[in-house]
Amino acid sequence: MKYENMVKGKFVARPNRFIAEIIIGEERVRAHVKNTGRCRELLVPGAEVYLEDFDGRMGTRKMRYSLIAVVKAGNIFNIDSQAPNKICEEGLLSGHIRIPGMDRITLVQREKTFGDSRLDFYVEDVCGRKGWIEVKGVTLEEDGVARFPDAPTERGLKHVNELRHARAQGFCACILFILQMEAMKIMEPNDETHRAFGDALRLAAAENVGVVAYDCVVTPDQITVNKKVPVRL
């Protein structure tokens, strides 16, 4: 996934979930934050950031800039919450991302309803197997360990339980963590932040719901799925 017209700046503040104040050159501007998560360990005053500049292609946009990536300890973290689903779709169709219990994916449909939830993907493979996938983007990291969530997520908990129901009905089911950074050693649930989510994830894994993580190669203007990362439950 590639971005256009990137510029570099320094993070100043985040007045609310949707807006960041950034210094670009000598100018202080406001940018749209494409992630409603906390990102507290990333969005610290003075952090180097990369923004997509929509000058000349604003359309119905209200802000010229969107905050896309943040540098932490020399590594670039993509914080675009729309990126993981796009990366997943590309990876499924290319065969780079593999879903447990399924062969080569031949059909991908986004945002389909199962039970009381709208799940990210309904898929079918070359053998006719049917499956459901929920994608979670991960930006929280400490010493090479990626964790999700960075804030309590009742919506995420509901999705995990829907995947359990799908598996019980004979579908393949998978929760896929897209780590929006590179070189992660391991992925694990963030029990300190939301123990119920971690417990649900462990229960789902015991019921043969796939729990899979892939990291990404991130540059200032691009994010690409990289390799599978072990999940520690």
Domain ranges of the chain: 6-78, 83-229
Return the pLDDT at 205. Answer: 98
How far apart CA 204 and CA 49 sit, in angstroms, is: 37
CATH class of the structural domain 83-229: alpha beta
Q: Is the pLDDT of residue 120 over 90?
A: yes
Classify domain 6-78 by CATH architecture.
Beta Barrel (2.40)
Determine whether 144 is exposed, middle or buried from the number of CB atoms within 10 Å of its CB (0-12, 13-18, 19+): exposed
Query: Which is more confident, 219 or 35?
Result: 219
121 strand-pairing partners: 110, 133
> Which pLDDT band, with edges at 50, 70 and 90, does 75 fall under?
very high
